[in-house]
Amino acid sequence: QVQLVESGGGLVEPGGSLRLSCTASGFTLDNWSIGWFRQAPGKEREGVSCITAYNEGYYVDSVKGRFTISRDNAKNTVYLQANSLKPEDTAVYYCGTPVGRFPYLCPHLESSEYGNWGQGTQVTVSS
C-alpha cells in the first residue's frame, strides 16, 4: 500500500526554522517526484515546492530563498527545510506524488496534479 507520512511540524517564532519530512512506505521514492503543499484554515491547498527524481527542485515565489527541498533515497524520505518562517507560512503541510504519466517529473504545483496525500503536519508561526 502506497503511503506518505509527514512529520516535523511544530510551533516556532517568526524567523525560526523547521525541517519537515515526507517518508514513503509501500514503494521506493527513487523514481518519483514529490510535491509539498500547504493548506491554511479557510483556504485552498497551495503548492509550495517539488523535487524531481533527478533532484531538481522547484519553488513558489513566496518561499524562494527561504525553503529548500531535498531527498534521501536511502531513507525513502524527502525533506523541506523551512527557514526565516513568517506567520503567513502557518498551515498544515502535506506531501504527495504526481498522478500523471510522468511521475519522475514535477508537474505544475496544482493539487489536482498530485495524490497519495499523507495526513499532514501542522506548522504554526507565531510569537
Q: Which of 22-31, 84-93, 100-109 has the highest mean pLDDT?
A: 84-93
d(CA 21, CA 57): 15
Give the 3-state secondary structure of 23-82.
EEECCCHHHCCEEEEEECCCCCCEEEEEECCCCCEEECHHHCCCEEEEEEHHHCEEEEEE
Mean pLDDT of 78-102: 97
The predicted pLDDT at position 23 comes to 98
Q: Which whole number is the average pLDDT over 104-113?
A: 94
pLDDT above 70 covers a percentage of the chain that reads: 100
User: Residue 122's beta-bridge partner residues?
Assistant: 92
Task: Report pLDDT for 2.
Answer: 83
Is residue 34 within 8 Å of residue 22, measured between CB atoms? yes
pLDDT in tens, 36-49: 999 999 999 999 99
% of the chain at pLDDT higher than 90:
98
Distance CA 66, CA 75 (A): 24
pLDDT over 90 (residue 1): no
Which whole number is the average pLDDT over 105-122? 95
Q: How far apart are CA 112 and CA 123, in angstroms?
A: 23
